[in-house]
Amino acid sequence: MSLKQAHHNMVRALASLTPASIRGAADAPDVENRAEHLQDVYWTVMDYMEAALADTITHLPADGFEVECAMFDGINEPGDYDVVAALVRAGCPLGGLRAAA
């Protein structure tokens, strides 16, 4: 599946995941329904993120565990994490201009 198709599937799935309303004080079924909704949203987004990560890695000039870790950290670390520098340290040299901030 292409990344574009994976993105389309995620957007379509998210659009269908409408949370149930909670009226007044939440009770146990309300909380269970909301938790289930959030799990569905989480796994839908995670499926897309895995597809995007895998697609990106297939286009890098190197691969392996350290490259995957550098990319994963680029997703999970604070905004000042330098994913390009981490990839270079992992043995994945990237040439060309850096993206503008």
For 15-74, how does the pLDDT look when each residue is reduced to its tens digit (9 = 90+)?
Answer: 999 999 999 999 999 999 999 999 999 999 999 999 999 999 999 988 889 999 999 898
Residue 55 lies in a domain: no
Q: What are the backbone dihedrals phi and psi of residue 15, each rounded to the nearest 5 degrees, phi first?
A: -65, -25
Residue 23 lies in a domain: yes
CB-based contacts of 62: which residues, under 8 Å, 6+ apart? 90, 91, 92, 93
In whole angstroms, what separates CA 1 from the centre of its chain?
16
Among residues 92, 50, 52, 99, the alpha carbon closest in space to that of 70 is found at 92
Q: Residue 64: which domain range?
A: 60-101
pLDDT of 100 higher than 90: no
Residue 82 lies in a domain: yes
Residue 54 lies in a domain: no
Residue 53 lies in a domain: no
User: What is the total count of domains within the chain?
Assistant: 2
The pTM of this model reads 0.80
- pLDDT grade, residue 94 (50/70/90)? confident
